[in-house]
Structure 1
């Protein structure tokens, strides 16, 4: 009677599994890779456009469905194990049979995955080993061993699901910290409102110890702000009236009133949260290395299991459950998730987990020049009068014309005028020749500011060699801005690009690590080579068009090099996508940030050093984790052939290695937590 009931129940469960599988096909697990189209795809390439709201809803629904399936599997496997244990403890063998339907429920999807791998995908995958192992244990009547193995397998899936979701939420929370209620000033009265009701133009009041809820400009008060979670800056930043503050940063000291400039989804912090939410192929990327190892171990395990039949069926089952590389499917994602969280703590946003795996193999770093190795804005090195106008007057004329212009040279001139406390007169009749110069009228004079070509177009005589009008003779690579008053040249402003202050020390360390370095730039060859010599960078690619930057990356890859491209401009987007690892800065263009796999939130190239160290540490951690799966597997196989180990011993050895591997995967994060606690103590 029990057998009959078991068969009926098993048939019902198989039907339920079929229905569930149909639902799974309609709603894939969250972040699952797209169906194969026969073309290689790259998880390193995020979507070019943010998904629509409906897509986000579908992803949330898919995530909930996947979690529900995992919970159902764990419940079914746990129930089967409980029945099998009760059967052995109570001495009622028939109870074992009641465990079979639950194993069928869990095993059917695994079997389907295994058959799909063999007959449709034509690949050897770990699901084949699951299928063969469960069938062999059930076929030989090892119900308890099968229940134990399947329960531990489902428990591993649950642990991975929980760790992945927790890590994702914590990473987003690190960057997106906002209070629920906000204190604002309206009609000279302080009132507290929900953050959702804050509008651009509101005056917000923030006290020490509180998070700043929106982006804005300080109207009143001096303060110290902790921007570590947003920018990676270790030290608090001192700010006063007129300074920008950002949502998600904390006020360490002081009290400020600030005007809201951006609120809700427009804030910098909300945009980061959106980047994290829409990271492409998140799960598939972080599992790739572990799954590859597990897949490669399948065929040798099955072959050795067949050979072990000479020692007996129990020994063959023991080898089948030895788990060579199998637990890397769990350990590799756990380790990577922890390293992603560590990177976020250091102000490094890793959008694609696979890039962390590739960092340890990088041997070539290609830097874009302008905006990456150099600051976008040049600096004025000297002002040379050519008539009776003094230096400060020439700068005043240039700044007055360039007022409200946003290009880098204009910003450099305006910044110099501000530093010298020069008041700018109001201008009239402004005429702008794109790419050449600008003309304006003020104080009864016509002032023209621009390039040598602009002066020639306007019929204004200029020296044949502007370097001769510089006190230091000028330097190759300088830019010159000509200032003319009433159609007579009054002075020449010499500007040079500024190298980021951290670059020279960074280049030295990267050379010590044995990495080859290169500069790529659309600028002329002479100034680019000068910068390369100054920094000690051996390879130079100048006058490179935006589309050719990607070709350059591919050429280096064809030389057998593993390339990291560091860029910040919209013209770097294609090259960022082609590189093995792509890095951008927090102040980069939207296109560069979206294309890059990694964003240095501090906007400081020095963050490359902890990034590469993190990649090397991750590589060492993964190698140690691999040993936790290799050693127990070897012991199990040797024991099966020479000590007649059975399947239960094999399962225990496998899970001993699994526990050791999970501990090793968690160790880097636990070390840092302990170090933080000691520091705070």
Structure 2
């Protein structure tokens, strides 16, 4: 199975996409054809031994759309021919109408109006004829038939007016769709095409694709970082807003990670690359945005199903209108032919079909610009319906980097020995608390012992054999389970938890050796983020944590969360999410993607934080906050709701105009040019309305 991608010119409406799909889909071995109107791309999946790339390109070209050779994201250069043809059509139409007003004979008017029709249809009729030959009638084909029919019955003025308006509307539609394309292309322009590589003979400009992992690059003040890497020399403040959405520049120095697309401040940096150009965080964001745009939201699938029924139905109605009334003696053939031609113009569902994707793509692109990655239209729809949000405490409401605060021995061992034993076990764990204990031992230069038979106990702690001791290092729950919690140990754990700390017991079997405690600072934005979510109408805000009740309540009170579920194992967090869902809530879970994977997976919407540094979160989460700023969450939910509202507005507008002119056409009150103006006007209106989901440059996304 091979996938071929083509950059194609002149795709500006869903009918264009349908024509390409039919033309290419007839070739041998073609499994699937996906046409992206807003990106101007055609992706074809072909079985082994099927049609060649050249044959696919020829089919696309024969469908009326030239295959382009430029790179993805490049702006399509618009030929001036259609503009000149539309202008000539308008001038000739004006002259023809003027001759009529002056009372000149038809022998003078008709050639001028015919010229206006020919000029307006110069780029329309060939595509319409190709569509008819391919048995895939689109708007161009319907307009060609309507104009020809108008000429046959002598309505030259109507035919010329309709063709001129259609030519102008196509130009306006191209411009409107081009705005959405530019927004998508702007994401691709965030990373430089070249990097300044440090070589033995001096610095050298090299295409980013040619830079190898491990090479050093230089980033000058004011430049964008070309590749992901680690700073080896220099200090600067980097604006990472293009990646994380965080507006405050981050101070960086040796050992710190930097991302492609970030903007360097006043310092010069040397960076050792850690990922190739194809695998940078920005590249993954772009791939995810492309996948999101290609995915189909439920509302979009509904619209497409309706459109597939609507067009044949209206075309069939137009045929009946032309044939049946004259046979029944209800009027002349020419009268009903004219009404049938008007119905043909109304039969194109362009406005309805394009109303959803242009809005979704604008919203997804705008969110990505703000540092929030939504995985697709379905996820955006689900986010708009969220009524309850569950936060995993560690790494979400807190910084996720706890520090050791206490080491307390409860028998004959000293504090350093308690810390040594605890760290000897915990250095094999990736849990944030375990890392805090290990870091503290390193700072105190405590020599660690080897550990055997290590086993992580998710939600409890860990166990291992160290220096012939069968050690357990874990929370109160584990302490009670093994019977190591004497009354004095319980009292000690209670005191530490009342101080807002996470207390960890160190025991040799059932004999308690000591207690270590860690504390994790609250995120500065946590309280503001919770308040914003409540203001956005989220009914229930819940905190899930494995910590003790006292410590959990202190954090919840500080950030403003009313419901707390404490001392939870990972599977119990999962059960808590399902319980909320059984109560009728649409649940989103916010976590760091490390210790809360089951709950994230069970949620209606899984939201991962800090995804810029965790590539796994980009792959698995429904929504990824690229940075650690929780305040981005409420605006994203509001954006999702606003996007669905715009889609509903567009559908009502498109269907409403169609319904009105369908009735007017049947009653003989709609002219051909009015139908064209209404149809193309509806397309332009829904595109313009959909672009409101894309924030204007310089405004917060």
TM above 0.5: yes
> What does residue 337 of structure 1 align with?
361
Alignment RMSD (CA, Å): 5.7
Structure 2 CA distance for aligned equivalents of residues 566 and 215 of structure 1: 26
**Structure 1 residue 572 displacement after superposition:** 6.1
Structure 1 CA distance for aligned equivalents of residues 369 and 631 of structure 2: 15
> Map of 1:590-669 to 2, 5 A cutoff?
590-626=615-651, 628-629=653-654, 632-633=657-658, 636=661, 639-640=664-665, 644-667=669-692, 669=694
Structure 2 CA distance for aligned equivalents of residues 454 and 560 of structure 1: 31
SS of residue matched to 1:217: strand
Matched, 1:502 2:525: yes
Cα separation, partners in 2 of 1:611 and 1:22, compared to 1, 3 Å: same
**Structure 1 residue 289 displacement after superposition:** 6.5
Aligned with 2:194 (options 167, 172, 180): 180
SS of residue matched to 2:628: coil
Aligned with 2:387 (options 344, 363, 381): 363
Cα separation, partners in 2 of 1:70 and 1:160, compared to 1, 3 Å: farther
**Structure 1 residue 600 displacement after superposition:** 1.1
> Map of 1:143-542 to 2, 5 A cutoff?
166-174=182-190, 177-184=191-198, 186=200, 190=203, 192-279=205-292, 281-282=294-295, 287-288=300-301, 291=304, 294=307, 312-313=335-336, 314-319=338-343, 321-322=345-346, 326-368=350-392, 371-373=395-397, 376-386=400-410, 395=419, 398-399=422-423, 402=426, 406-416=430-440, 422-427=443-448, 429-431=450-452, 433-435=454-456, 436-437=462-463, 450-451=473-474, 463-469=486-492, 472=495, 474-475=497-498, 479-482=502-505, 491-495=514-518, 500-517=523-540, 519=542, 523=546, 530=553, 534=557, 535-538=560-563
Deviation per CA, 1:609-646: give whole Å up to 9, x if none.
12012123323433444465356446645654677222
> What does residue 47 of structure 1 align with?
none
**Structure 1 residue 599 displacement after superposition:** 1.5
Structure 2 CA distance for aligned equivalents of residues 147 and 551 of structure 1: 62
Matched, 1:71 2:92: no
**Structure 1 residue 413 displacement after superposition:** 1.9
**Structure 1 residue 480 displacement after superposition:** 3.7
Cα separation, partners in 2 of 1:608 and 1:108, compared to 1, 3 Å: farther
Partners of 2:307 and 2:352 within 8 A in 1: yes
Q: Which moved more, 1:23-32 or 1:641-650?
A: 23-32
**Structure 1 residue 221 displacement after superposition:** 2.1
Cα separation, partners in 2 of 1:575 and 1:83, compared to 1, 3 Å: farther
Matched, 1:26 2:49: no
**Structure 1 residue 505 displacement after superposition:** 3.2
> What does residue 4 of structure 1 align with?
none
Structure 1 CA distance for aligned equivalents of residues 141 and 551 of structure 2: 60
Q: Which residues of structure 1 form unaligned runs of 5+? A: 1-15, 34-50, 114-126
Partners of 2:197 and 2:215 within 8 A in 1: no
Deviation per CA, 1:310-350: give whole Å up to 9, x if none.
78523454355447975132243223322222212211122
Cα separation, partners in 2 of 1:455 and 1:619, compared to 1, 3 Å: closer
SS of residue matched to 2:646: helix
Matched, 1:585 2:579: no
Q: Which residues of structure 2 form unaligned runs of 5+? A: 1-19, 38-44, 68-77, 94-108, 154-158, 457-461
Partners of 2:292 and 2:364 within 8 A in 1: no
Partners of 1:467 and 1:475 within 8 A in 2: no
Partners of 1:31 and 1:59 within 8 A in 2: no
How many residues end up aligned between the 2 structures?
A: 613
Partners of 1:224 and 1:251 within 8 A in 2: yes
**Structure 1 residue 244 displacement after superposition:** 2.2
Partners of 2:229 and 2:259 within 8 A in 1: yes
**Structure 1 residue 287 displacement after superposition:** 4.7
Structure 1 CA distance for aligned equivalents of residues 698 and 504 of structure 2: 56
Partners of 1:220 and 1:257 within 8 A in 2: yes
**Structure 1 residue 250 displacement after superposition:** 2.0
Partners of 1:547 and 1:574 within 8 A in 2: no
Structure 1 CA distance for aligned equivalents of residues 693 and 215 of structure 2: 44
> What does residue 8 of structure 2 align with?
none
TM-score by length of 2: 0.67
